[in-house]
């Protein structure tokens, strides 16, 4: 995608706003949009702006097949950024010379390393950026999202590496797994939006969805990246245009801590929003919540519901009129 097409994809911004953000005058901005001749300095400013501001970006994530056992609790995760609709055309034509239809899929598994390196180095272009990292297969820091959390971490580390300032539309595709329930995907989407605000990355719209890789060439590309990243040497990955995301254990732990805190705030916000307005109904509603959570806690082996019980109690003290708080305190 050339610079003009990228600028046109930022149609949520006025020409004056674009000119101001790029650091050029409005007449010069109009000349840029008309594809007229511009100075090298202006061209460099536009390129620098577009490097950090994207109209529509898609991320495709995949992991090699693994068995989550005590001896294998880590995995390679690929994350492929695609910024143009035709970015994967060369990959698709190389894999399916007779044409591709949704439902067709060629897996990377079983192919030798040199074949994969040669393929990816050949089909790579400016509108594709491939990354990989190592993560745990699950993260218990956020119990509700333990299976999807490794993907959230990889997404955030990829976007941190890219240093985007704004993305108008961000679509994130995961290869379908049973653990990716609609509820987990929705919660993961909210968590990503909240964290990206902390990163000062403006997001217009964001969706996190799980799809069958047989129907998406981007997911098939991510499969090749994930498979190769698990087996190849660093020099071979460089040749294949795959970037290793440096894992800083301290920074990742801090990210997980922040994600956990954000998730608890999101949960609490939703509970507050669902409280009925009528005080007697509110008291009854909260008491029922506490009884339900307390019962689960009583029968739980790992007492994982304790945090939820504390949140329910906090809601009681925070949300009820002071005159009614004694009812909850006595019930406690």
User: Are residue 72 and residue 218 in the same domain, yes or no?
Assistant: yes
Backbone angles phi, psi at 128, to 5 degrees: -125, 130
267 falls within a domain = no
Average confidence (pLDDT) over 186-203: 91
* Domain membership of residue 297 as a residue range: 275-331
DSSP run (H or E) holding 133:
strand 128-136
d(CA 167, CA 32): 21
Residue 283's pLDDT is 54
User: Are residue 14 and residue 159 in the same domain, yes or no?
Assistant: no
d(CA 170, CA 178): 23
Last residue of a domain, one of 14, 34, 53: 53
303 falls within a domain = yes
159 or 329, which is more confident: 159
The CB-side HSE value for 24 (13 A sphere, CA atoms) comes to: 24
pLDDT at 140 over 90: no
What pLDDT, in 10s, does the model give residues 74-110? Answer: 888 999 999 988 999 999 999 999 999 999 999 999 8
List the structure tokens of 254.
């801090």
Residues in the chain, total: 332
Under the banding of pLDDT at 50, 70 and 90, the label for residue 185 is very high
Domain total in the chain: 3
Under the banding of pLDDT at 50, 70 and 90, the label for residue 61 is very high
Residue 69's pLDDT is 45
Q: How many CB atoms lie within 10 A of CB 78?
A: 28
Q: How many CB atoms lie within 10 A of CB 103?
A: 8
User: Are residue 192 and residue 307 in the same domain, yes or no?
Assistant: no
């Amino acid at each position: 995608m050339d610079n003009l097409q990228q600028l046109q994809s930022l149609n949520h911004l006025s020409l004056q706003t674009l000119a101001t953000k790029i650091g050029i005058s409005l007449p010069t901005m109009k000349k840029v949009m008309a594809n007229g001749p511009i100075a090298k300095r202006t061209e460099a400013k536009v390129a620098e702006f577009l490097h950090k501001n994207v109209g529509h970006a898609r991320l495709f994530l995949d992991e090699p097949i693994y068995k989550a056992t005590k001896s294998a609790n880590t995995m390679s995760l690929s994350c492929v950024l695609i910024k143009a609709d035709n970015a994967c055309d060369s990959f698709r034509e190389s894999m399916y010379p007779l044409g591709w239809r949704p439902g067709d899929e060629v897996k990377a598994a079983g192919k030798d390393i040199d074949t994969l390196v040669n393929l990816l180095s050949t089909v790579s272009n400016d509108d594709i950026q491939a990354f990989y990292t190592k993560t745990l297969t699950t993260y218990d820091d956020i119990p509700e999202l333990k299976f999807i959390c490794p993907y959230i971490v990889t997404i955030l580390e990829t976007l941190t590496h890219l240093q985007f300032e704004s993305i108008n539309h961000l679509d994130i595709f995961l290869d379908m797994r049973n653990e990716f329930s609609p509820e987990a995907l929705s919660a993961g989407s909210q968590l990503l939006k909240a964290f990206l605000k902390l990163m000062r990355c403006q997001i217009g719209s964001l969706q996190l969805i799980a799809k069958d890789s047989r129907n998406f060439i981007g997911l098939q590309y991510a499969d090749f990246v994930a498979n190769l990243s698990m087996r190849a040497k660093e020099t071979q990955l460089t040749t294949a245009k795959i970037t290793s995301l440096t894992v800083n254990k301290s920074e990742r732990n801090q990210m997980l801590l922040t994600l956990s805190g954000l998730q608890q705030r999101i949960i609490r916000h939703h509970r507050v929003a669902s409280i009925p307005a009528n005080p007697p109904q509110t008291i009854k509603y909260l008491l029922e919540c506490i009884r339900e959570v307390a019962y689960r806690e009583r029968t739980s082996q790992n007492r994982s519901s304790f945090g939820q019980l504390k949140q329910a109690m906090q809601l009681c003290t925070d949300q009820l009129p002071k005159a009614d708080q004694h009812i909850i305190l006595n019930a406690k």
